[in-house]
Amino acid sequence: MRIHFFDTYNCSVRIYNRRVKIFIASDHAGFELKETLGHYLRMKGREVEDLGPAEFNPEDDYPHTIAPLAKKVAKTKGAMGIAIGGSGQGEAMECNRVKGVRAAVFYGGSHEILKLSRQHNSANVLSLGARFLSPKEAIQAVELWLSTPFSHEERHARRIKELG
């Protein structure tokens, strides 16, 4: 069924820089979407490390998988992370506690926020709200986010540096 999904949906945005390491993790609410996105990205030739959970557990707590994701993104030069939860809010909060991580939340709506999170904020983690996105919407969001580079404009670089 998952293979059929990938064969039937044509997501046209080209992924930027395939050599970037992508860490992915979720809680129970994002587990199915994590599996789908991980599979999709690997099919596209991306290097993906799944940090869990390895199996669905309705009682899990997101800090146990999201904190390691944030730490790995911070330690791995040029790495990106995809955190997935029910709304994506708590996952982003957990990620943003780690120095060097800039997590943006997306749970639908204008895709402009995805581009701005990369162009202006050099977001290195995308936190997705699985309860608000279809698999197709999530794939399109991830591809757009990964394909959008940081602008390197002085004012944006200065602000990121000020974050500490």
Catalytic machinery residues: 91, 120
For residues 11 and 146, what is the distance between their CA atoms, to the nearest angstrom? 13
Closest CA to 78 of 107, 106, 104, 47: 47
Handedness of CA 118, 11, 76, 53 (dihedral sign): positive
Q: Can you list the pairs that 136-139 forms with residues at least 24 positions away whose Cβ atoms lie under 8 Å?
A: 136/9, 136/11, 137/108, 138/33, 138/36, 138/37, 139/9, 139/11, 139/36, 139/37, 139/40
DSSP string for residues in 66-123: HHHHHHHHHHSTT-EEEEEESSSHHHHHHHTTSTT--EEEESSS-THHHHHHHHTT--
